[in-house]
Structure 1
Amino acid sequence: MKKSVLTLLAASLLLGGCAQTIDSVNSHLPETPSVNFGSNDLDNTASDLTTKMLSSPAVSSITAGGKHPIVIVDNIQNNASGHVDTKSLTNTIKSKISRSGKFNLVDKSRVDAVRKQMNFSENDRFVNQGTAIQFAKMTGAQYMLYGHVSNTSKSEDGKNVPFYKMTMRLMDTNSGSIEWADSGLAPKSESDSQGW
């Protein structure tokens, strides 16, 4: 009897010791995939395009005399194959504009209220320029910055190499005219290119 109690006690100590080792592992943290979707390159492209816009002659004219026009930054659209973190791209653009001090950004609560009033969800896209202008005006914006990411490729060493192409446009909401437009390229990583 004493032998079985000692055996049981030894087994529980052994198993208890194993459990402590397992507990020391960060098993409570969720696993996140380490797949690189080229987001750093795209964030850099978004930042570079925003810098180009802010230093463009069009924006210099718009902001002349210390004016700080109101701009709404629409969510960047993903027209590319595969995942693109468009929320991060949009936030990069908004942060850069905000830090520049050249424009006043429309408050998110105002944007949400107008979306609700027009029965738009955050993911709805404007069907035409007229709807986009109406939406921007209802938020009080004088300008709307919008853009998208698409697939493209360019020839390097005789091979077609896949890239992301990011295009951005700044539109005057009164006239509907495009005051500034530009695009930039970001390389796709191998994991991005598999479905391309």
Structure 2
Amino acid sequence: MNSRLILSACLAASLTAACGGPRAYTRGTYEDPNTIEMLSDRFNENDLQLIAKKMAESLANTPRFAQATAQAPLPIVLVGKLKNSTSEHVDMRSLADKIQTALSQTGRFALVDQGARLDIAEEYEYQQSGYVDPNAAKGPGQQVSVDFIMTGDLASIIQEVGNDKLVYYKMTAKLNNVRTGLIEWTDEKQIRKKFEKRSVGW
């Protein structure tokens, strides 16, 4: 094999390694988390933010809560189970946390965290085990009683025709009165996104 063929073979091998070899994300920049970007047709963080904002603002502006006086105690709300009725994996715990944070930021509600309740129950057991000064130990019986529980359901409808795809999400939330069982408030957030299928690659 002459030197020209050897050089050509080496060049081809180098190009193959450069184009088809392992690749990694090595450089990045911080982005505004509120910037709307749709890199795929799946449920994304923007959808989560839009839903949380709508639910918190809608509930806070409901006449019953919007007209609350400074002297009255804040209504105590627990964001309960949010059901995922879509065909996608959606982190409903993150959605619940986002709604809880948005409600807290309105300043019109006192919040109880469902997960923290279990942690507190475990802490009660530890403090009653004898390892903690009995005079300083905390125990059950003094927690606040929740006034309202928020529940919800996330559903979706997907339509595909030719190269077009429509994705529709609907989040319905309800605020249930713990004492009476009545639905004191309900609202929904609709999100509709359109995608066009295009070829990718070289």
- Tell me if both proteins adopt one fold, taking TM over 0.5 as the criterion: yes
Question: CA offsets per residue over residues 75-97 of structure 1, 9 Å max, x none?
Answer: 42111111223222111101111
Question: Is the 1:38–1:189 contact (alpha carbons within 8 Å) kept by the matching residues of 2?
Answer: no
AA at the equivalent of 1:187: R
Q: Indicate yes or no: 2:194 matched with 1:173.
A: no
Q: Percent identity?
A: 28
Structure 1 contact 70–141 (Cα < 8 Å) conserved: yes
Q: Which has the higher contact order (CA 8 A, sep 6+)?
A: 1
Which of 152, 155, 162 is the matching residue for 1:150? 155
Q: 1:146 to 1:78 in 2, by over 3 A?
A: same
Structure 2: 5+ residue stretches without partners: 1-23, 27-38, 122-142, 197-202
CA contact (8 A) 2:59 2:185 kept: yes
Residue of 110, 114, 120 corresponding to 2:117: 110
Asked whether the equivalents of residues 165 and 194 of structure 2 are also in contact (C-alpha less than 8 Å), the reply is no
Deviation at 1:70, TM superposition (A): 1.2
Deviations along 1:106-134, whole A, 9 cap, x unmatched? Answer: 144225567xxxxxxxxxxxxxxxxxxxx
**Alignment partners' CA distance in 2, 1:160 and 1:26:** 29
Residues 24-103 of structure 1 mapped to structure 2, 5 A cutoff: 35=40, 37-39=42-44, 40-60=46-66, 63-64=68-69, 65-103=71-109
- Cα deviation for residue 168 of structure 1 reads 0.5
Asked whether the equivalents of residues 165 and 195 of structure 2 are also in contact (C-alpha less than 8 Å), the reply is no
RMSD: 3.6
**Higher helix proportion, which one?**
1
Change (3 A) 1:139 1:162: farther
TM-score normalised per structure 2: 0.55
Structure 1 counterpart of 2:29: none
Q: Distance in 2 between matches of 1:42 and 1:188?
A: 14
Aligned equivalents of 2:61, 2:174: Cα separation in 1:
14
Structure 1 match to 2:132: none
TM-score by length of 1: 0.57
Deviates more, 1:78-87 or 1:168-177: 78-87
Consecutive unaligned residues of structure 1, counting only runs of 5 or more, are 1-24, 28-33, 115-137, 192-196
Does the aligned pair in 1 maintain the 2:153–2:173 contact within 8 Å? yes
SS, match of residue 170 in structure 1 = strand
Secondary structure at 1:181 match in 2: strand
Distance 2:47 2:195 in 1: 13
2-side partners of 1:70 and 1:55: how far apart? Answer: 16
